[in-house]
Amino acid sequence: MRLTLRVWRRKDTRAPGAMKEYEVDGVTPDMSFLEMLDTLNERLTLEGEDPVAFDHDCREGICGACSLVINGDAHGPERTTACQLHMRSFRDGDTIDVEPWRAAAFPVVRDLVVDRSAFDRIIQAGGYVSVPTGAAPEAHATPVPKAAADLAFEHAECIGCGACVAACPNGSAMLFTSAKINHLNVLPQGAPERETRVLDMVGQMDAEGFGGCTLTGECATACPKGIPLTSIASMNKEWLRANRKVSRG
């Protein structure tokens, strides 16, 4: 396949950015999107040009580093990560726009690379789970209902890629934050910090400058791991409960 790529290029945080057009030939349907970018970068390097900077790590849909907006969609036209998006999703002669995440809380560092450390700070605000020290506890010492375990695992699947933020018209991080809160709050091991966790993490989310949630649902549609929109409702319920308890205390 022969494709036309229009890629966002920005040398650093001080330089202005702009879309630059490239022709990429010899693309096979079985290539991943990142392998296609590798092909472009090999050519640019041989021609003495700076390669396109983009984030990646595992290339197995696990780490969430491959944050790209492809033709206006977070991670592209398929519900998966960009590293698992294959070029068979496109046709010969297509023009493809490739941009970084667009959110005030995710500043562009260079080209397609954004700073997502705001997510790290939200997680850090949640603190730790109180557990006894010493020898490993008996596995059945704290019974966990299957429904709670299933719900916790569902939310723990969040890989923190930021697609929810990129897809949201408000740049909201509610789906990410709710996933990180709910996967601990539904378990008995997370009960001691239940109130402080939700208040601190939501407070940090707001402090990072993410937009407000209006439940448009684009976040859940774009999420490659299928975190449900109901996660946000559960977090709101936890926040109201914790805020009411703190106010009375």
Q: 203: domain CATH number? A: 1.10.1060.10
CA distances from 1 to 23, 83, 169, 224 (A): 11, 19, 33, 26
Number of folded domains in the chain? 2
What pLDDT, on the 0 to 100 scale, is given for residue 44? 97
Q: What is the CATH number of the domain that holds 31?
A: 3.10.20.30
Q: Say yes or no: 71 and 125 in one domain.
A: no
Q: Are residues 98 and 161 in the same domain?
A: no
Q: What average pLDDT does range 19-45 have in this prediction? A: 97
Q: Is the pLDDT of residue 189 over 90?
A: no
Q: In the listed set 81, 110, 139, which residue is the last one of a domain according to the structure?
A: 110
Task: Tell me, yes or no, whether 102 and 209 share the same domain.
Answer: no
Residues 150 and 224 in one domain: yes
Mean pLDDT of the chain: 94
> Based on the domain organization, do 68 and 104 belong to the same domain?
yes
Length of the chain, please? Answer: 249
| Whether residues 168 and 78 fall in one domain | no
User: Would you list the DSSP string of the chain?
Assistant: --EEEEEEE-SSSSS--EEEEEEE----TTSBHHHHHHHHHHHHHHTTPPPPP---S-SSSSS-----EETTEET-SSSS-GGG-BGGGS-TT-EEEEE---BTTB-EEETTEE--HHHHHHHHHT-------SSPPPTTSS---HHHHHHHHHHHT-----HHHHHSTT---HHHHHHHHHHHHTSGGGSTTHHHHHHHHHHHHHHTTPPPP----HHHHH-TT---THHHHHHHHHHHHHHHHHHH-
Each residue's pLDDT tens digit, 118-150 = 999 999 999 887 766 677 777 678 889 999 999
The tens digit of pLDDT for each residue in 37-53 reads 999 999 999 999 999 99
Instruction: Clarify whether residues 209 and 231 are in a common domain.
Output: yes
Q: Taking 90 as the threshold, does the pLDDT of residue 7 lie above it? A: yes
Residues 42 and 126 in one domain: no
> Of 95, 110, 125, which closes a domain?
110
The pLDDT value recorded for residue 39 is 96
Domain co-membership, 104 together with 123: no
For residue range 55-85, list pLDDT tens digits in order. 999 999 999 999 999 999 999 999 999 999 9
Note the pLDDT tens digit of each residue in 191-243: 889 999 999 999 999 999 999 999 999 999 999 999 999 999 999 999 999 99
Q: Say what the alpha-carbon torsion angle 58, 60, 64, 67 is, to the nearest 10 degrees.
A: 90
168 lies in which domain range?
116-248
| First-last CA distance in the chain | 65
Burial of 193 (0-12, 13-18, 19+ CB in 10 A): middle
The answer on 44 and 135 residing in a single domain is no
Co-location of 160 and 120 in the same domain:
yes
pLDDT for the residue numbered 132: 66
- Using 50, 70 and 90 to split pLDDT, how confident is the model at 249? low
The residue among 71, 95, 110 that closes a domain is 110
> What is the structure's pLDDT at 13?
83
Confidence of residue 246 (pLDDT cuts 50, 70, 90): confident
What's the pLDDT at 133? 64
Q: Which pTM was predicted?
A: 0.92
- On whether both 91 and 171 belong to a single domain, the answer is no
